[in-house]
Each structure stands twice: as structure tokens, then as C-alpha cells.
């Protein structure tokens, strides 16, 4: 059997790499603007650059998740995708909607709601696109020869992500109500159902890379799912401290935010234990690096750094400061960016037949990008702590404080350059793998 869906997955991965390059570009525009080098302000003001930067993050990760699903679900279900041509239609339409949104932001065509800036007209096209994607994935899964826990958890995460997009489309006259439901999308994606997607991809990779029995690995998935729903849903409360809702959310948000690191701790322990138990010496060490790295870095970035500033007593001071950027950058990198890069690193050699995972370039890409991101996290953290102290303790004006912490953004740009160099090496590897071939895909299926 030839899984033509794997070729679809390749093009989704290619789209995600292109969007990642654009996201990094807009990040540099913001970084240079923060140190006074704002020559592009007339064309790309800071608020536009920020909206594009954050939205591109979401779209390139979603493209990666969709590519992962098109690669994993047919293989787990042991049948071809129900309609490969429609998958290409979904890919093209997703790219077109993304282009329309990004261009629109430069002409002030947006809703102005943080993280959900996409215009309402495009919202409906996004829903139609995701419905098509889910239809293809779910029908393939339920028509397949088997339904594994790995495939079900991945599909459940994707389905819930689609459903939780809908509250963000509800119109409200009240700013409080709008903020309340906006976090159903933002928080319950990144600290809820996206963790299920990560868990599904992580499980698939560990099964393939370690050789540990599927039943052993998939039992861990139940623990991860349980902890995700236990902590993630009510953990939304840490976004409700200061938006005008009942004070009970200070208690609920504080307690369940303290539990949120448990899901990421479970993933880290899960990955490391499976690696230690593994008897299979898979040659693709690069994919294993990215897989274990995702589990460990996500625990630090999303778990520990998230916990460090979401307790009400701490958040009273850190709310709205660069401490949030510290947590956000390492959390997204570890939990979601690295797992997308892991599935790409695993699948590319299988689809193209070119075993480039032994090159020094691939290892350099891994280490440089991680060193760069850790450096950025430290720069954001130091700048954030200084900002908190000067604003909250010394009562200095916001813009005066920004001038005081400019030097930290110089460090940030240097570290971002290291990250970008690592990503550039990764993309060079991606290009050198070439396109998928029927022969390589067939050979991989037989093995």
C-alpha cells in the first residue's frame, strides 16, 4: 500500500517551515524596534508586527500538526487517507486564508482582539477548512483496520481544538464577557487540547524510535490526558484575575495553575522512561533528540516557568510584563515547536529515502536553536524582573522603564540570531532531503 497522504504531509511541513521563517522575521522587526531601530515603523508599526508574529506562530504550528496527522493517522489506521485530493484543497485553502489575514493586518483589517485578530469574514473560512481536515482524518481513522490510543488521542486533541475555536467567534458588547470566552480559545488550546496533540505525536515517535511495546507507551497517554483535563480546564482561571469576574477565580486559578506542571512533568518522565526502556537502537538519533528535548524543555518552559508567575500572589506583580514573554517563548518552543520539528525529522528520511540525520548540520541545528531560545528566555526573564521592580516598586512610568531595559533586548537579539541560525540549518536539511518518492514511502511501509 502506498500512503499518498505522506506526500500531503510533506507539503504541510514545507508550509510550516515557510511560515516559521516569516515569524522569525517579524520577531526581529519587533526586537530592533525595542532598541530604537524602528526604520520600518511607517510600513510595519509595532502592533502590526506583534499581531503577525503571534498569529504566524499559531498557523505554522497548526500546519505542522496537520502534517503530522496526515502522516500518523493513515499509518496508525493502516489505510490510505479517504480522499487525498481534498487534502491538497485543504492545504491550498489554508495557505490562502493565512496570506489574506497577514496582508490584511498591514492594512488594519482585523478585530483588534489579542491573539484572535483574524477578521470575522476569515473566521468562517478557517472553520470550513478545519471541518474539511477533521472530516478527512476522522473518516480515515474510523474506516481503518485499527484504532490505536495514539491515533485517538491525537484526533481528540485536533477535534477539541476545532471546537474551542468557536467561543472566540461569539460577539459580545461587554469587554469582560469577551475576555472570558477569548481565553477559552487561547488558554484551552495551548494549555489544554494542544497538550493532547503533543501527547499523541510524542507517543507515536517513542513507539517508532525506542521499540518499547505500544501498550506500555499508550498507558502513559491516559495519565497525560487525565492530568491535562484535571489542571488545564480550571487552570484557565489564572487569566481571570483582573478582568472583572468573581473573586472565586483567584482561588480556582491559583490552585489549578499549581497543578498544571504535572501534565508536562508526566510527559517528561514518560519520554525519558521510554527512552531508557528502549531496546531498539534507531539510527535516527536526531529525531530522538528533538523528541526528548520537546518533553524536557516543555516541562521547564510551560510547567515550571508557567507556575512561577501564575499564582495570584506573584501575578499581581508580573501581570502584563516581560515575565510572561519569558514563559511564553520557552513554553511554545518546548511543547509545540520542538515536537513539530521532531515529527518532521523522523518522517522526512522515511518519505524521501535520504538519511541525512547523521550529519553535523542536523546536530548543530538542534543545539544552536535550543541554546538561542534558552538565551532569549533568560534575557526576557531578567528584563521582566527589572521591569516588575522598577514599575511596581519604584513606580516609574512604563516608557521610562523600557529605556532602562533596552540593553536586555540587545542580548535578546543576539540570542535570537543564534536561534535563527539553528533554524536556518534545519531548513537547509529539509531542502536537501528533497521531495518524497513512492519508492521510499513503499520501502518504509514494508519495514
Q: What is the largest CA-CA distance in the chain?
A: 68
pLDDT at 95: 97
CA atoms of 359 and 367, how far apart (whole Å): 13
Q: How many residues does the chain have?
A: 447
8 A C-beta contact, residue 404 and residue 327:
no
Rounded to an integer, what is the distance from CA 290 to the centroid of its chain? Answer: 14
Query: pLDDT tens across 273-299, in order?
Result: 888 887 778 899 999 999 999 999 999
pLDDT at 229: 82
Query: pLDDT tens across 353-386, in order?
Result: 998 887 899 999 999 999 999 999 999 999 999 9
Beta-carbon count within 10 A of 445 CB: 14
Q: How many CA atoms lie within 13 Å of 437's alpha carbon, on the beta-carbon side?
A: 9
CA atoms of 37 and 205, how far apart (whole Å): 43
pLDDT at 415 over 80: yes
Question: Would you tell me the crossing angle of helices 285-298 and 194-210 to the nearest 10 degrees?
Answer: 140
Quick one: which H or E segment has residue 250?
helix 248-259
pLDDT at 114: 85
pLDDT at 2 over 60: no
pLDDT at 355: 87
Q: Cell for 422? A: 539553528
Given the C-alpha cell 516598586, which residue does it identify?
Answer: 393
Query: pLDDT tens across 35-81, in order?
Result: 989 888 889 999 999 999 999 999 999 999 999 999 999 999 999 99
User: What percentage of residues in the chain have a pLDDT greater than 90?
Assistant: 75
8 A C-beta contact, residue 414 and residue 375:
yes
pLDDT at 385: 96
Query: pLDDT tens across 78-123, in order?
Result: 999 999 999 999 999 999 999 999 999 999 999 888 889 999 999 9
Kindly state the DSSP code that residue 393 receives in the 8-state scheme.
Answer: I
In order of 96, 352, 356, 365, 439, the CA distances from 430 in angstroms are: 23, 10, 9, 11, 19
Mean pLDDT, the chain, integer: 93
Query: pLDDT tens across 213-251, in order?
Result: 899 899 888 888 888 888 888 999 999 998 888 889 999
pLDDT at 147: 93
Place 426 in a pLDDT band, splitting at 50, 70 and 90: very high
pLDDT at 439: 87
Place 315 in a pLDDT band, splitting at 50, 70 and 90: very high
Q: Of the candidates 26, 56, 57, which has an alpha carbon nearest to the alpha carbon of residue 43?
A: 26
Domain ranges of the chain: 1-147
Amino acid at each position: 500500500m502506498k500512503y499518498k497522504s505522506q506526500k500531503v504531509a510533506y507539503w504541510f511541513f514545507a508550509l510550516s517551515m515557510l511560515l516559521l521563517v516569516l515569524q522569525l522575521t517579524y520577531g526581529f522587526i519587533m526586537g530592533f524596534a525595542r532598541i530604537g531601530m524602528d526604520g520600518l515603523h511607517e510600513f510595519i508599526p509595532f502592533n502590526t508586527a506583534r499581531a503577525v508574529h503571534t498569529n504566524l506562530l499559531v498557523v505554522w504550528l497548526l500546519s505542522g500538526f496537520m502534517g503530522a496527522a496526515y502522516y500518523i493517522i493513515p499509518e496508525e489506521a493502516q489505510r490510505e487517507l479517504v480522499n487525498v485530493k481534498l487534502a491538497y484543497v485543504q492545504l491550498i485553502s489554508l495557505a490562502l486564508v493565512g496570506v489574506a489575514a497577514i496582508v490584511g493586518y498591514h492594512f488594519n483589517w482585523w478585530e483588534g482582539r489579542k491573539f484572535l485578530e483574524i477578521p470575522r469574514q476569515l473566521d468562517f473560512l478557517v472553520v470550513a477548512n478545519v471541518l474539511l481536515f477533521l472530516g478527512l482524518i476522522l473518516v480515515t481513522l474510523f474506516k481503518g483496520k485499527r484504532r490505536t490510543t495514539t491515533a485517538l488521542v491525537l484526533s481528540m486533541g485536533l477535534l477539541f481544538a476545532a471546537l474551542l475555536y468557536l467561543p472566540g467567534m461569539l460577539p459580545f458588547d461587554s469587554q469582560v464577557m469577551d475576555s472570558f470566552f477569548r481565553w477559552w480559545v487561547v488558554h484551552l488550546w495551548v494549555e489544554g487540547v494542544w497538550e493532547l496533540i503533543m501527547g499523541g505525536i510524542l507517543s507515536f515517535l517513542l513507539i517508532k524510535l525506542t521499540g518499547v511495546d505500544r501498550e506500555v507507551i499508550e498507558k502513559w497517554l491516559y495519565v497525560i490526558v487525565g492530568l491535562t483535563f484535571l489542571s488545564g480546564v480550571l487552570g484557565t482561571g489564572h487569566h481571570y484575575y483582573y478582568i472583572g469576574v468573581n473573586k472565586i477565580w483567584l482561588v480556582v486559578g491559583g490552585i489549578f495553575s499549581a497543578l498544571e506542571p504535572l501534565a508536562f512533568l508526566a510527559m517528561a518522565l514518560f519520554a525519558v522512561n521510554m527512552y531508557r526502556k528502549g531496546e531498539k537502537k534507531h539510527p535516527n538519533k536526531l529525531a530522538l533528540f528533538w523528541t526528548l528535548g520537546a518533553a524536557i524543555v516543555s516541562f521547564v518552559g510551560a510547567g515550571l516557568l508557567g507556575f512561577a508567575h501564575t499564582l495570584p500572589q506573584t501575578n499581581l506583580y508580573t501581570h502584563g510584563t516581560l515575565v510572561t514573554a519569558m514563559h511564553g517563548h520557552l513554553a511554545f518552543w518546548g511543547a509545540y515547536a520542538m515536537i513539530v520539528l521532531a515529527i518532521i525529522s523522523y518522517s522526512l528520511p522515511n518519505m524521501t529515502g535520504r538519511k541525512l540525520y547523521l550529519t553535523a548540520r542536523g546536530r548543530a541545528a538542534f543545539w544552536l536553536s535550543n541554546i538561542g531560545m534558552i538565551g532569549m528566555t533568560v534575557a526576557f526573564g531578567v528584563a521582566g524582573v527589572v521591569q516588575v521592580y522598577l514599575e511596581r516598586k519604584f513606580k516609574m512610568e512604563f516608557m521610562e522603564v523600557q529605556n532602562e531595559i533596552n540593553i536586555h533586548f540587545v542580548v535578546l537579539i543576539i540570542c535570537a540570531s543564534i536561534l535563527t541560525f539553528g533554524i536556518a540549518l534545519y531548513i537547509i536539511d529539509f531542502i536537501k532531503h528533497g521531495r518524497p518518492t513512492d519508492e521510499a514511502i513503499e520501502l518504509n511501509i514494508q519495514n
